[in-house]
Amino acid sequence: MRILLDEEGYGWDEAWYIVTHTIAYTNHTVLAEALERWPQQLIEKWLPRIWQILIEISNRYQRALTDYFHGDLSKVAPMAIIWGGEVRMANLCVCACFKINGVSALHSDILKRDVFHDAYARTPDKFTNVTNGIDHRRWLSECNPELDALIRDCCGKDKYLLQPDALKELEQYRDDAGVLSRLGQIKADNKKAFAAWVARESGVILNTDALFDVQVKRLHEYKRQLLNVLHIIYLYQRMKADPHFDFTPRTYLFGAKAAPGYAVAKRIIRLINSVADMIARDPACKDRLQVVFLENYRVSLAEKLMPASELSEQISTAGKEASGTGNMKFMMNGALTVGTLDGANVEMHDLLGDENMFLFGLRADEVEQLKREGYVPQRLYNRDPVLHRCLDALRTGFRDGVRYDDLYQRLLFGAGGSPADEYFLLADFQAYCQAEKRMAETYRDQTAWNRMSLHNIARSGVFAADRAVAEYADNIWHVPHK
């Protein structure tokens, strides 16, 4: 608007027409802290001309809302652009953009049903969905050359690079012993290559005979790295209590970065390292259980890790993850998924069925119902001795002398204005343990595991960015494409 008004000489109505027929809004999150709200005084002081334009947009929009909702401020206030001394950037986008999309089917439904409910009721034609996609040429062909060679042999030389749906042709080899064996060998080779890289970088020796169980993503409580850690503590306690515990050896690999001011996320990273240290120094865990926090998680590391991963942890609280793209990269490289029905996991499940991934936990609607009914995590703690022991381990501390009373308190009683167990870790704990058990039992049959892996790769073409960009081009931008 500033450029069109001040530099191009358009009048307000002409400029507003251009803006509102040119700009579309992709929402990437339902988290309140990411739907930016800026202090009014900050913009007034440092961006005075922008402030003038914002005031005009806001006043016109608010008048339209007031007319539409017949003066009902309970409807107008949450949708206003400037209200209570704040400038609400998401509401500005909803006002000014001609299309609004989420990045997975579930996420887009939540935008309509909850985050922008009244805006959707007023302008339903604005709202649509474009599920995220990833560049399969980078995240499969370039970073996993052995798998790329297998796909070329099975699906035609270069076909899948420009037609990712051609990956479906792999399904005809689901009972081909040679192809399944080769797929297993590719994964084993990638594990060894990654282990060699880790050894060079950090001196840590990974057990490549163990299942590589991986959770790499931004560190946030809703992504529930802490749930993963609690399960590892359970396995360790079980192993110590029962030397004959029948256990599928596992190497847990974590990678994450925390926002600079996110103290709880940093504490969870510290906890992962405390647990890793305890397990590394216990002879009972040798060749059976290993935990490694990978330093400086980044794209170049991910390009080495994704091909080596066997299990993908996608365990966010249902309704919180907009889409995820790591889940797609893992799937495309043949890792199986243990996860909730959240974000694009929902669409992955639609493609794969129950038999080709390990689902667990509350659905998004069940999470909301539990909130309404009044969730009391202390009850789970008091009646579940396994959970009780895992949480108590946070209080008693680990070999390095660090205790995590703060995380214990946060889960059971809440802290800093957050409710107890805000992301329902304890509610999903038993279901998660059962999903991990099913996964470990499946892993023992490598032919069955490789068949599931092949099926995941074959169905992953829909998550290529080619499809996502084509949907934007066809349904939002209305531009031609090949």
For residue range 261-305, list pLDDT tens digits in order: 999 999 999 999 999 999 999 999 999 999 999 999 999 999 999
What one-character DSSP code corresponds to residue 4? I
Per-residue model confidence (pLDDT) at position 33: 79
Active site residue 126: no
Per-residue model confidence (pLDDT) at position 34: 81
In the three-class reduction of DSSP (H, G, I as helix; E, B as strand; rest coil), residue 87 is classed as strand
In tens, the pLDDT along 97-142 reads 999 999 999 999 999 999 999 999 999 999 999 999 999 999 999 9
Q: Which long-range contacts (CB under 8 A, 24 or more apart) does 191-200 make?
A: 191/308, 191/310, 193/304, 193/308, 194/304, 194/305, 194/307, 194/308, 195/308, 197/304, 198/292, 198/294
Per-residue model confidence (pLDDT) at position 242: 93
Catalytic residue, chosen from 220, 224, 288, 329, is 329
Phi, psi at 86, each rounded to 5°? -125, 150
Mean per-residue pLDDT for 195-224? Answer: 98
In the three-class reduction of DSSP (H, G, I as helix; E, B as strand; rest coil), residue 441 is classed as helix
pTM of the model as a whole:
0.96
Provide the b/e sequence for 174-196 (b: ≥16 CB within 10 Å): eeeeebbebbbebbeebbeebbe
Band of pLDDT at residue 32, cut at 50, 70 and 90:
confident
Q: What percent of the chain has pLDDT over 70?
A: 100
pLDDT higher than threshold 80 for residue 482:
no
What one-character DSSP code corresponds to residue 418? B
In tens, the pLDDT along 350-372 reads 999 999 999 999 999 999 999 99
Q: How far is CA 210 from CA 188, 252, 284, in A?
A: 10, 9, 15
249 torsion bin: left (phi>0), alpha (psi -120 to 50), beta (else): beta
Do 317 and 125 form a contact (C-beta atoms < 8 A)? no
Catalytic residue, chosen from 2, 20, 21, 28, is 28
In tens, the pLDDT along 302-348 reads 999 999 999 999 999 999 999 999 999 999 999 999 999 999 999 99
Residue 424 to residue 318: CA distance in whole angstroms: 9
Bridge-based pairing of strands 336-339 and 311-314 is parallel
Cα torsion 433, 438, 442, 448: sign? negative
Per-residue model confidence (pLDDT) at position 89: 97
Per-residue model confidence (pLDDT) at position 476: 98
Per-residue model confidence (pLDDT) at position 156: 87
Per-residue model confidence (pLDDT) at position 243: 82
- Average pLDDT value over all residues in the chain: 97
Give start and end residues of each alpha helix (H) in 4-104.
12-20, 40-46, 48-68, 73-79, 89-96
Catalytic residue, chosen from 182, 217, 250, 455, is 217
Active site residue 403: no
Active site residue 325: yes
Catalytic residue, chosen from 117, 137, 218, 389, is 218
Band of pLDDT at residue 430, cut at 50, 70 and 90:
very high
In tens, the pLDDT along 373-426 reads 999 999 999 999 999 999 999 999 999 999 999 999 999 999 988 999 999 999
pLDDT higher than threshold 90 for residue 51:
yes
Among candidate residues 184, 176, 136, 139, the one with its CA nearest the CA of residue 160 = 136
What one-character DSSP code corresponds to residue 101? E
Per-residue model confidence (pLDDT) at position 341: 98
In tens, the pLDDT along 143-162 reads 999 999 999 999 988 999 99
Residue 27 to residue 90: CA distance in whole angstroms: 8
Active site residue 168: no
